[in-house]
Amino acid sequence: MGKPLSPLAKPVGPFSMARFSLKCLLGGITPETFLAEYWQKKPLLVRQALPGFGDWLNRTSLSDLARRDDAESRLVRFIRGECLLDRGPFEAEDLAGLPKKNWSLLVSGVNHFLPEGDALLHAFDFIPLARLDDLMVSFAPPGGGVGPHFDSYDVFLIQGLGRRRWEISAQDDLEVMDGAPLRILKRFTPEQSWELEPGDLLYLPPQYAHNGVALSDCMTWSVGFRVPTAEDMVGNFLNYLQDNLKPTGLYSDPDLKRQRHPAEIPATMLDQVAAMLKAIRWDKDMVADFLGNYLSEPKSHIFFDPPERPLKAAAFAKTVAKRGVRLDPRSQLLFRGAIFHMNGERLAALPETHAALQSLADHRSLPPGPVDTALLPILHEWYVAGYLLPGMRG
Ligand code: SIN
Ligand code: CO
């Protein structure tokens, strides 16, 4: 078991989101054009999408993250052509004696630990936050990668440190190798290839075959999107219905007739139960309520750190008035109309709080200023739960 480490205090490198430009990120096209022409349709390569981007994390700081209990990390090694996969948390010695070539360390959910990672992820908020998943960062020495594969989600691959060659293919043949611990393609026929340098970006739609091989010590930052399966969503919605539907009545059979086989399920019973099930109803508001909780629910390994000695409401209001307030990077706040969903919890908010709560959800922070009396108890409760904290986002 790895041990939890304190969050990284400062990024290592000089790139700041203050210099970020959406126009540059998308290579000069508007988000509208990107969505109409590329999103879920075709790849887009943008040279210098994030000029100066490079070393917010390095091998050492990523290895520190891979030792945390609350981070999802993987180590992929290729030894004599065989793919080996280990899952974290790792011990320092697991990561120290690795060979000079052909492995890759990947950490998911980096946006939860690195405020700058949270800001980078949300630079992609021209796509609804309900679709945004997380930021994964990988380190690989020369030759390292995870092999040719496809993902079921859209991904923006941003080159951090070093150089990586990406090969991509629109091939329909997506058969994967038997017995490999990762879904590696049996056959891969690259159609296009580029060497990415720090700050370059490659967008790939779902199911697009790709292979990234490190040319030098190399870090890749992947902004990924969530694609819940119909099976998962339907299963969770049925659980929601179970918790929220309150069917009334009892099974009854005043007209019961004696039957030839006592063990046979009576046809009238079948009809009555079928009618009961047919009476199950739900409306769009229930679907929206379910969806808000489902989408904002933290993943199972995510835990919040409530303040040990929280400020009382009045002192909290003074601090927020002076410093503003921001969501904890692990928090998910979504809304529809007057209903807000914070980390899987529903809140029906008063109209006078809507604008501020919508702004907090959209921008993940509120600027300094007086806190409305209806808003204060909501913000204070979330602060006590560790969902938000005083101070603006960097
Ligand atoms: C990586 O960072 O090596 C993997 C990213 C990907 O191919 O999706
Ligand atoms: Co991939």
222 lines ligand 1 (CB under 6 A): yes
Please tell me the distance between residue 149's alpha carbon and the centre of ligand 2 in angstroms.
Answer: 6
DSSP per position, 261-307 = -TTSPPHHHHHHHHHHHHT----HHHHHHHHHHHHHSPPTT------
What's the CATH code, domain 7-225?
Answer: 2.60.120.650
Which pLDDT belongs to residue 394?
A: 57
First to last CA, the chain: 32
73 lines ligand 1 (CB under 6 A): no
Structure tokens at 293: 């909780």
Topology of domain 283-394, CATH: Malonyl-Coenzyme A Acyl Carrier Protein; domain 2 (3.40.366)
Which pLDDT belongs to residue 17?
A: 80
Q: Measured from the CA of 211, which atom of ligand 1 is nearest?
A: 7
Backbone angles phi, psi at 240, to 5 degrees: -60, -45
Q: Label the pairing between strands 209-214 and 218-225.
A: unpaired
154 lines ligand 1 (CB under 6 A): no
Nearest-ligand number for the alpha carbon of 104: 1
138 lines ligand 1 (CB under 6 A): yes
Contacts of 284 by beta carbon, 8 Å cutoff, 6+ apart: none
Closest CA relative to residue 362, chosen from 134, 36, 21, 127: 127
For the chain, where do the domains classified as CATH 3.40.366.30 start and end? 283-394
Please tell me the distance between residue 87's alpha carbon and the centre of ligand 2 in angstroms.
Answer: 17
For the chain, where do the domains classified as CATH 2.60.120.650 start and end? 7-225
Which pLDDT belongs to residue 81?
A: 83
Q: Which residue has the tokens 């739900």?
A: 282
From residue 62, alpha-carbon distances to 23, 107, 114, 145 in Å are 29, 7, 11, 16
Please tell me the distance between residue 153's alpha carbon and the centre of ligand 1 in angstroms.
Answer: 12
104 lines ligand 1 (CB under 6 A): yes
Q: Can you tell me the distance from the alpha carbon of 153 to that of 134, in angstroms, rounded to the nearest whole number? A: 11
Q: Are 331 and 387 in contact (CB under 8 A)?
A: yes
Q: Can you tell me the distance from the alpha carbon of 148 to that of 188, in angstroms, rounded to the nearest whole number? A: 7
> Which amino acid is present at 318?
K
Which pLDDT belongs to residue 243?
A: 93
Please tell me the distance between residue 180's alpha carbon and the centre of ligand 2 in angstroms.
Answer: 16
- For every one of its 394 residues, what pLDDT tens digit does the chain have, with 9 covering 90 and above? 344 444 444 444 456 787 789 999 999 999 999 999 999 999 999 999 999 897 889 999 999 999 999 899 999 999 888 899 999 999 999 999 899 999 999 999 999 999 889 999 999 999 999 999 999 999 999 999 999 999 999 999 999 999 999 999 999 999 999 989 999 999 999 999 999 999 999 999 999 999 999 999 999 999 999 999 999 999 999 999 999 998 888 999 999 999 999 999 999 999 999 999 999 999 999 999 999 999 999 998 899 999 999 999 999 999 999 999 999 999 999 999 999 999 999 999 999 999 999 999 999 999 999 999 999 999 999 999 999 999 876 5
Candidate of 73, 85, 157 to mutate for ligand 1, largest count of ligand atoms within 8 Å of Cβ: 157
Q: What is the pTM of this model?
A: 0.91
Output the 3-class SS for 90-133.
CCHHHHHCCCCCCEEEEEECHHHCCHHHHHHHHCCCCCCCCCEE
